[in-house]
Structure 1
Amino acid sequence: MLKRAHYTIALPLMAALLAPVALAASNSDCETALNKRDLVGAKGICTQALASQKAAASGNTPAQLETLARAHDNLGSLSMLNQQYREAETHYRASLAVRTRAYGKNHHNLSHSLVPLAESLVRLNQPGDAEKLLIQTLQLRQQALGKRSEAVARIHGTLATFYIRTNQIAKAQRQLADQISILEQLYPTGATATAKAYNSLAVVRKKEGQLPQAEAYFRRSIDIYERKNAANTLEISAPLLNLATQLTETNKLNEVESLLLRVKRIRQQFEGEESVGVADIHNRLGVLFNLLGMKEEAEKQLRTGLAIREKRLGTNHMLVAESCNNLGMLLMQANRLNEALAVLRHATVVIHSQTGPQSAQTIAAWEQLEKLYGRMIQQNNSAG
């Protein structure tokens, strides 16, 4: 079977940023480096910014302490980008301590520290502690801003995303229902936040096997984006791609090509002609065209996707293995066994190196190779 991609959900922003302070090395300078993904340069700039904010916070005013907390947030973000999750936790806890000094322990502004701290704990495989922090954030916002505020709706969405990631589907569904209820009351004609929530709810329905409801919610999400003049944004690509995936899996193929081509155009516009995201669409189109019996076009798409992935990711990457596996299966179907052998061998080597010799992926890859070797032996015997 050709592999298909996972569903996509949008993750929440980790922290809200306040106005910069004009210092030699400012939070704004740090954030500029982070936005540019200049992680090497950002380390020095953000560390200097933190030192500057510590010196400037001697008066312990709420504004000074908030700026200091923001400096810790920025270093936490840098650590997250570098996958240094324990260091990120340290900075976010420092940020929380500073904001507690500034506002007290029951102020909703603590959420700017609590949400990213929870994310760092998820990455450290401490989901129970992360959940407590997110529930604390929800309670603080409800007490300060009311249960039907937009800020409360956002944290319902954050909790839903957390529950989806930790496979707590019933809890995720309740949070999404609360989020959508609030947003539809606040924005009766729809909002992009509502569209994101419907996409996430569709993912939950899909996980529960409720396919008609999932398809309906994916379409509702797309419709809201289009009505809010967001028809050509990266955000709409999530429900478009999820709908295309579900339709492919349920063999409802008529719309799939147009959906995938639409996502491809969006990704080309925002990410570039040869981005990893565009390569993913080439791979998906290859899978689709193979299902439709369009073998020549399927091979073209799969080879294009493979070439981009190798260029962007290197040859020893699991996405490269995925492309090689899909191309190898197509070549086997066409009885081009020697060509199939080359790409399936490479897929097996990559999977073995990335997941280990005993992983389910490695075992499956070797089983596929054994089938290919069996067909090659049979073919040679028949020719002899």
Structure 2
Amino acid sequence: MVANIADAASTSPSGAKSSLLLTEAKIQALRPPEAGQVEYCDTLVPGLRIRIGVSGAKSFVLRKRVAGKYRNITLGRYSERLPLAEARKKSRQILSDVEFKADPVASLPKAQKRRTDGYTVNALWPGYKKAKAELRKIGEIERVFKRHILPEFGDRAADGITRSEITRFIDKIAERTPVMARNVLSYFSAFYTWALPRLDRLPGNPCRDAGRPPKPKSRERVLSEKEIGALWHVLEGEGAPFGPAIKLLLLTGQRRNEVFEAERAEFDLEKALWTIPGARAKNGVAHLVPMSPPVLALVKSLLDYDRGDKLIPARGNWEAGPSGFSKAMARIRDDLEKRIGEPVPHWTLHDLRRTMATGLQRLGIRLEVTEAVLNHLSGSRSGIVGVYQRHHYFDEKRLALAAWAKEVNRLARAARAKKTSKSRGARS
């Protein structure tokens, strides 16, 4: 196999063999040369080469004329993380950037990179963040950039990214979470509106005509009393990280990211108080959440001072929040149906927030107190009322959350009693 490859490619004066159609099998079969290094050119993507040295290490290189001079752009070591398909994808992106007269800076030597860093999304991001620091949603914007935009486009020349690339990127996110896809596109578009006057070669905002997922229908799903009680028992058997985290969602009514990304320093056990900083709150306003006795006990059980800063870390990584939400939710939904013994309409983690708000209203809690618990700046707390009404209902929030915790406990006891009764009936 190796001999056939070598025979099919004669060495050129530059040290590169003549072109052939690269495949994974051919790359894996390549043997190191006796001295120096050898490059094999790909016939599918112009300029793409696989380089192999005497050590046997194989690296992808893209050779392209930029500004009248040839440049060898190292894409990275051939591995499971950088297979042939990914190297071709990176090469096409760089070639596209060059066509838009942007410098391909992802892997250039440092001296060249310093002259052209201003073109990349990574390089522009700090300036954009500083310019928008006063925005109420800057914390959410930063999370979206770090989680979605920068990993995908950070090393790309900002004036070479096309609307079709952005459309495919947004479509991929929309397959999982349509709402997040719309947010990502909106934040990326705002970034390009800011960047447009700073990039002479940028013809227009590529996000403006990119595909936008349709606005999802507003949800009204509220878990029934029977579902709440049964869910509590399912969560008791789920274990960390999702069991305790979803219990906190149900008992406090806070947002998913506010719970799953919470840090230990936010919790004051002596005062039974959870302070969500403005940088993490969706509306940018710091939020005080009084902890009911069950929440306080739950948080105490989660605090472990021998590990990282996260209250609910990922399994095996104390410095990061949990992942794998889709699998966990599918498992929990299935367990809930099995426990109830009948189909359960689809529900999401955000529906727990609506369920708690509805439960507070059922318990007779005033609307403005419910909105204070949820940290809403809408309805009774928006507009001119929100400007002049500075009462934060702290004592009322504590009473409301304590009442809701008692209600969840009541529903859990009722679900346990019903389950026990059915088991006895089945045995008799």
TM-score range, shorter chain: under 0.3
Structure whose CA Rg is larger: 2
* TM-score, normalised with respect to structure 2: 0.23
More strand by share: 2
